[in-house]
Amino acid sequence: MTSSPHKGKTGLRRLINAVGYSLNGLRCAFRYEDAFRQEVALAFVLVPAAFVVHVNAVERALLLASVFLVLIVELLNTAVEAAVDRISFEDHELAKRAKDIGSAAVMLSLLCTAVVWAIVLGN
């Protein structure tokens, strides 16, 4: 198996590069993806709200984790969509399936967030 030519860095240089790539990925998602911007806006409301409501530390962690889960799943969905589109814009059953499954994952993460918040705040 041949390794990627992009995997040559090690140590601190690798860590610095990884942080840079990650920040670039966040910038790209925010710039080009409407859904990500909407979910970031939701996070800007829910993250502070998680610190305002009177809950214990574990419940607060659940509230926050559920919000960040949505952002993480949206980033993965965006990556899948970009990879599929890189291959071809042509309509194809497998491309549609990949995009629909990614969309379903985002929907389930949003549902998970709603359920977690309802349960925690309902107690």
Report how far apart, in Å, the C-alpha atoms of 34 and of each of 40, 79, 85, 121 are. 10, 14, 17, 29
Phi, psi of 31 (to 5 degrees): -70, -40
102 close to 76: Cβ distance less than 8 angstroms: yes
21 close to 75: Cβ distance less than 8 angstroms: no
90 close to 64: Cβ distance less than 8 angstroms: no
Structure tokens belonging to residue 77: 């969905």
Based on the residue annotation, tell me whether 74 is a catalytic residue of this protein.
yes
Marked catalytic residue, from 74, 81, 90, 93: 74
Question: Which residues are annotated as catalytic?
Answer: 74
